[in-house]
Structures are given as structure tokens and as C-alpha cells.
Amino acid sequence: MSFKNLLLLCSIIWLGVSCKSEKEDPGPSGPGVPASFGFNSLKVNGAYSGFKYNDVNLKPKVRFTFSAPINNATVANGVTFQSASGEKIAFTSVQEGGDSSVVITPSADLKYLTSYSVTATKALKSKAGGMLLNEVKVELITALDATDKFPVISDEALLTLVQRQTFKYFWDFAHPVSGLARERDSSGDVVTSGGSGFGIMTIPIAIERKFITRAQGLERMQKIVSFLKKAQTFHGAFPHWLNGATGVVVPFSDKDNGADLVETSFLVQGLLTVRQYFNEGNAAETALRADINAIWEAVEWDWFRKNNENVLYWHWSPNFGWDMNHQIRGWNECLVTYALAASSPTHSIDKTVYDNGWAGNSTFRNGNEYYGTTLPLGEPLGGPLFFSHYSFLGLNPTGLTDRFANYFTQNKAHTLINYNYCKANPQQYYGYSDQCWGLTASDIPNGYNANSPSNDKGVITPTAALSAFPYTPTESMKALKFFYYKLGDKLWGEYGFRDAFSLDQLWFADTYLAIDQGPIVVMIENYRSGLPWKLCMSSPEVKTGLKKLGFTSPAL
């Protein structure tokens, strides 16, 4: 039995005890004092399944049954029907079962995908004048409107539309001084190094897709690189957050106010990809490549071994040193950090650091089967889907193998487990299905969470399924069509799909996050043309580094 069902059972048992006690103790009595009455049962559209109902039709029948006949004249004020926003809903009532049951029906159709509550209050009286001992409230969420919210277009046109609209987050909403990506759409001057790396990778795509010209893309990259050359770094590594106007570190947390090697690797992955794209011999593109090389070669990857340990460390602070003490060990999103550290022409690490640090973790290997799919590496059920996205925006997993795994097999397995988990829906969250799936880190109601099958809050994040297009094109396309055509009136906005949503909680984020928008554009392009993979894997240093670590690939 799921935790959700256990809570439901407990509430039913409690309610039964409550109702029994109401019958046994009718309240104040004596000459002239009417007996109080209790609640007996509830049905919505003829069935009982607790006190919250999803997927309700637009004219539901809510039937309350009490322990005494009800005074019909008190129903209008004794029952409230309203939306979650407080809108009062007109209703009709019919009494049945010797007047002890009251059936409430809205006078007009309710709205689709909207939350309502129907409450029998203490203002409801029995025919004898008795008072209802405890209020009874039922929550209703109406069904999804199955009509298409936008005109149907071809699959290719839809993919292009999603890429173009999502790209606007990095183009139109980029910080005006630095050109870098804001952490989220409400971040002001705070820009993100890793999210900017993802955004940088969208520029060659936008040029090839004719969203912008090559000259425009070059000009934006010149602005970005000029800013990065002057920004605050620590042993060549960038902080997680920067002030987009000044280039000074913005602390991510109390002690995270210095270098972030993982975020730096996401940024460098983007810079190397763009360096490979702007390959013409003119002065402007030659200078851009030279500036990118200067940034790349300044990162002291080997220094982050902390006294030559055979593992890389995530953070270093000028105030707190290595106090965060976070070793970068797999399996997670950080493969590219080790790949670039091995690829560095100036501060390279040896294979022993990869073998002992990244892959030396006791939880690195898996080998178990989940939902009929064997997972080679990582935590049970795979973890959040960004593990299979961030490092593989540039590193092509197709045919990429080492002694630990085939990385396309790994990423496809991870995705299929996530998909099949949502399809099976063991937590019984309303809305999960084969077309509404995808768990990864995102905003959730009143917070942020690394959503996964083992940490599931009932929230679907569009980037999870959409960034998985290279691994599960059929399943991802089904999700894309559902998000756009069926939920587009609530989910689609000026920068593409909003960050996350929950049909179970009837919540839609109004936010956009750089680290979620970027992979959508890049991984859809990797599915369509492989352009980001071709560019990143064409880097001579990346080829050398991957070979050093023991990788083989058709691209090497």
C-alpha cells in the first residue's frame, strides 16, 4: 500500500470513529435543546474514494448523507461551493433518502482543470433544529480540457518552434552587460556560469536554424568572452553565480563563494563547442578562438585534487578553503568535469584520478533491473534525469564506452526507467501517464527539489522528457505534444515551456530556469542533427582527454 493510500485509509478510519462518537454523544440536551447530528457518508458521482477527487466532470453530483433529516431551508447557506480562488459557485440541491441526504450539483458547468471545494458547514440544520457537529469538506479537481490549445503542426515544425521559443531565454533575456544567462527569470543581475554554458551552446544551433545570423552570434560571443576574461575566478575556475554587471562572485551559499569546478566544466563545455563552430580564418573569429583558449587553459583542474588526492573537489573558497569538502564522485551529472580535466592542455589530471575518484565510489555501479530495464550505473531507479543531460550536451554518448559502461545504453536505460516509473505511477499522482512524464530537478510548489523516482513530489518537469529526445524519441515526442497541445494554455510562454507543473496539486510554475531551458534546445538538436555533439567531439583536446581516460568512440 502506498503512503498516499495509507493516509487515506487512516482518514477514513478516523472519520468513522468521529461519526460513531457523534451518534453516541448528540451534544447538549434537555428541554428545548435540539439534538445535534453527524455526517454519515459521501459520494461524488455515485462513488466514494476519500475527500479529494481528480478528473471530475464539469457537472458533478456531490451527495452528503447525515444521521438526521435535513431542513431544506438551511441548505443554501449551510453548504458552500467555491473555487480555490474564492469564486462562489451557484448550485442546486435535491434531498433524498428521507431527506437525510443532500445532493449538490453546480448550476452551470465548472471550468476545466480547476480546483473546487464543497463544504457542509455548521450552518446546516436538521429538521429538528440540530446543528452539524463537524464540517465536512470535499475537494474536486475538474478534468483536463482535451481539445488542442494551438493549431496542430508537423512534428518537425513543432521541434523548431520549441527550440526557437526556448532560445529566447538566452537571447532576449540575456544579461545586457555580460550577455550571460540569468539564473532564472527573476534573478536580476545574478548570472549562472553553468547555465550560461548551456546557453552558449544554443548559439550555433540558432545560427544554423536561422533564428539569428552568424554575425549576430559572433557579436554575442564576443561580448560574453570579453566579460568572462575579466570576471572573478579562483585558480582559473568560475563561481556558480556572478554579478552580470560587474563580474564579481555572488555567493551560492554561505561557504560557496569561490570556485565551482562542476559549473566551470559546463561553461567550458559550451565555450569549446562554440570555439569549434566559429572556425573561419578572419580576424574576428580567430580572436574569439584565442580568447576562449585563454579562459580554458587558465582553469587549474589538477589543483582541485586538493594536495594531489586521486579525486577532484567541487568547491574552493577564498575565505573557507576546502571546508565544503565535496568530492566529485559518480554516478551523476559530472562526467564532463573529469573529461575536461583530463583534456586540459595546461592542467591535466591522470587516469588514476578518474578511476579512483569518479568511478571509485561504492555506489558507482548498479546492474539491477527496474521496470524491465537494466541500469548499468548509478543510484537505484537512476536518479533525476539531468544526470543523462548535462555532461552529454557536448559529449556524444553514441558508441561512447569505457570499462564501466556504454554511455548511450546507460542514458537510455535511465530515461526508460524514469518514463516507465511515471507510467506505472506507484504513488498514484494524478496526471502521470505515458504522455505526461519526466522527473528531474526543478521548482516545486513552495521550493525546489531534485525530482526522481526515489524522491517524487508529484511534479513533472518538461526539460526531463524533452532533453531525452536522443534516447527516447517516441516517448519524448508524445510528451512534447501533450505539454504543448493539451497543457499549452497553462504551460507555454514567452521563453518556451515553464519550468514545472503538477496536475495532482493543480500547480503550474511561472518560472524559467537557465539550467532547464538550455538542455531542451541543445538535446533536441542533438536528436535532430547531432550538431552540438559533432562540434564538441571535434575538439582535439577532448579527443585526447577521453582517450587518456580509456574511452572509445566512433567520434575519437
pLDDT value for 16? 43
Please report, for the domain that includes residue 315, its CATH number: 1.50.10.140
* Residue 270 placed within a domain: yes
CA-based angle 368:374:377, to the nearest 5?
Answer: 70
pTM of the model: 0.92
Do 162 and 273 fall within a single domain?
Answer: yes
* Residue 555 placed within a domain: no
Task: Point out the domain boundary residue: 142, 163, 182.
Answer: 142
Please report, for the domain that includes residue 7, its CATH number: 2.60.40.1220
Q: What is the rounded CA–CA span in Å between residue 395 and residue 470?
A: 13
pLDDT value for 40? 96
**Sequence-distant (≥ 6) Cβ neighbours of residue 37 within 8 angstroms:** 22, 26, 66, 67, 68, 126, 130, 131, 132, 133
Do 186 and 286 fall within a single domain?
Answer: yes
pLDDT value for 518? 98
What is the count of structural domains for the chain? 2
Task: Point out the domain boundary residue: 142, 172, 207.
Answer: 142
* Residue 207 placed within a domain: yes
* Residue 556 placed within a domain: no
For CA atoms 151, 153, 159, 164, give the dihedral sign: negative
* Residue 477 placed within a domain: yes
Do 112 and 188 fall within a single domain?
Answer: no
Do 415 and 544 fall within a single domain?
Answer: yes
pLDDT value for 35? 85
Do 57 and 192 fall within a single domain?
Answer: no
pLDDT value for 10? 44
Full residue range of the structural domain in which residue 77 is found: 3-142
Do 132 and 175 fall within a single domain?
Answer: no
Do 284 and 259 fall within a single domain?
Answer: yes
The answer to whether the CB of 523 falls within 8 A of the CB of 466 is: yes
User: How confident is the prediction along the chain (556 residues), in pLDDT tens digits per residue?
Assistant: 454 444 444 443 444 433 333 333 344 445 566 889 999 999 999 999 999 999 999 999 999 999 999 999 999 999 999 999 999 999 999 999 999 999 999 999 999 999 999 999 999 999 999 999 999 999 999 999 999 999 999 999 999 999 999 999 999 999 999 999 999 999 999 999 999 999 999 999 999 999 999 999 999 999 999 999 999 999 999 999 999 999 999 999 999 999 999 999 999 999 999 999 999 999 999 999 999 999 999 999 999 999 999 999 999 999 999 999 999 999 999 999 999 999 999 999 999 999 999 999 988 999 999 999 999 999 999 999 999 999 999 999 999 999 999 999 999 999 999 999 999 999 999 999 999 999 999 999 999 999 999 999 999 999 999 999 999 999 999 999 999 999 999 999 999 999 999 999 999 999 999 999 999 999 999 999 999 999 999 999 999 999 999 999 999 9
* Residue 147 placed within a domain: no
Do 106 and 182 fall within a single domain?
Answer: no
* Residue 150 placed within a domain: no
Buried b vs exposed e over 56-73: b needs ≥16 C-beta within 10 Å?
beeebebbbbbbbbbbee
Q: What is the rounded CA–CA span in Å between residue 324 and residue 301?
A: 17
Do 494 and 534 fall within a single domain?
Answer: yes
Task: Point out the domain boundary residue: 142, 174, 197.
Answer: 142
Query: For 1-29, what is each residue's pLDDT tens digit?
Result: 454 444 444 443 444 433 333 333 344 44
For CA atoms 545, 547, 551, 553, give the dihedral sign: positive
pLDDT value for 8? 44
The answer to whether the CB of 190 falls within 8 A of the CB of 243 is: yes
Do 85 and 194 fall within a single domain?
Answer: no
Do 93 and 189 fall within a single domain?
Answer: no
Do 184 and 106 fall within a single domain?
Answer: no
